[in-house]
């Protein structure tokens, strides 16, 4: 799936002088008036690392479009167990379900900037823009597909396969955003990776170490470099 993009001149969410809009990666198939209208209702948001964007079960107030930085999205069980349901990267949307309450909590992994829309205003705009509505539905469907793929990973794969699939999946998402760097940035902690994959910190660490020992990856500060792409893709194979 292509990244949604309001501005034809930018791949991701950045300020675009040409279109005079700050809000990008929202939607193709919008005319210039619609773009400006949408832009007018957006407010900038700046967060420090670890800051909370919103919390599970609280009334959903806004729709967010990440312009830089990354966030983790998670659900908590009463006893403190945590399941990370996803990581949000630049260009990603949060709150597109337009539900009354947040389905999960979100907080920043790094300093983060975003475009923020009032949920009600965004909803009203949606009613007037079938194109955007349609595009949004495609986006939601795509997220559902990713969630189902994650179900396969959680339910039917070994620890090593989980870690490999995680790295490959992340690489693909980063690749859309930048020149294909050999290094995959990992802004999240090992604990976060574990809570995403249904593993403990120790197991994540051991699997990364094992892959590094076998020269499949190289562990670098804040990330991982893939040495043997074929091998790791074989491990992650769908």
Partner DNA sequence: CTAGCATTTTGATCTGCATCAATGTCACAC
Partner DNA sequence: GTGTGACATTGATGCAGATCAAAATGCTAG
Question: Which residues bind to DNA, rule: CB under 7 A?
Answer: 158-160, 189-191, 198-206, 208-209, 219, 221
Interaction partner, residue 159 (a copy of itself, DNA, none; CB < 5-8 Å by kind): DNA
101-130 residues near a copy of itself, rule: CB under 8 A: 103-104, 126-127, 130
Interaction partner, residue 205 (a copy of itself, DNA, none; CB < 5-8 Å by kind): DNA
With a CB cutoff of 8 Å and minimum separation 6, the contacts of 44 are 22, 113, 114, 115, 116
Question: What CA–CA distances, in Å, run from 134 to 4, 56, 129, 155, 203?
Answer: 12, 26, 9, 32, 41
139-168 residues near a copy of itself, rule: CB under 8 A: 140-145, 147-152, 154-157
Interaction partner, residue 209 (DNA, a copy of itself, none; CB < 5-8 Å by kind): DNA
Structure tokens at 134: 């349609």
- List alpha helices for the chain, DSSP H: 32-40, 119-128, 130-156, 159-175, 190-197, 201-213, 229-236
CB of 66 to DNA, least distance (A): 20
Count of residues in the chain: 238
User: Which listed range, 3-11, 34-42, 173-181, 194-202, lies at the site for a copy of itself (CB under 8 A)?
Assistant: 194-202
The contact pattern for a copy of itself, residues 209-238, with x = CB under 8 A and - = no contact, is ----------------------------xx
Distance CA 171, CA 185 (A): 8
Among 32, 134, 172, 225, binds a copy of itself (CB under 8 A): 134
Among 15, 41, 47, 83, binds a copy of itself (CB under 8 A): 83
Distance CA 211, CA 231 (A): 10
Among 12, 163, 197, 217, binds a copy of itself (CB under 8 A): 197
Phi, psi of 39 (to 5 degrees): -65, -40
């Amino acid at each position: 799936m292509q990244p949604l993009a309001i501005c034809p001149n930018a791949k991701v969410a950045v300020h675009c002088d040409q279109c005079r809009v700050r809000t990008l990666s929202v939607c193709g198939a919008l005319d210039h008036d619609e773009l400006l209208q949408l832009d007018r209702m957006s407010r900038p948001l700046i967060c420090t690392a670890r800051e909370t964007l919103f919390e599970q079960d609280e009334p959903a107030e806004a729709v967010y479009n990440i312009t830089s930085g990354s966030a983790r999205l998670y659900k908590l069980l009463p006893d403190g167990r945590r399941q990370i349901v996803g990581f949000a990267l630049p260009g990603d949307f949060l709150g597109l379900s337009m539900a009354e309450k947040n389905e999960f909590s979100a907080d920043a992994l790094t300093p983060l900037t975003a475009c923020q829309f009032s949920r009600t205003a965004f909803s009203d705009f949606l009613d007037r823009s079938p194109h955007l509505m349609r595009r949004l539905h495609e986006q939601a469907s795509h997220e559902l597909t990713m969630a189902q793929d994650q179900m396969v990973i959680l339910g039917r794969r070994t620890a090593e396969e989980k870690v490999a699939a995680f790295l490959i999946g992340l690489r693909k998402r980063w690749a859309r955003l930048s020149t294909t760097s050999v290094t995959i940035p990992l802004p999240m902690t090992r604990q976060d990776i574990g809570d995403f994959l249904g593993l403990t910190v120790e197991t994540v660490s051991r699997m990364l170490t094992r892959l590094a020992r076998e020269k499949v990856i190289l562990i670098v500060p804040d990330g991982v470099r893939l040495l043997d792409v074929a091998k790791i893709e074989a491990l992650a194979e769908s």
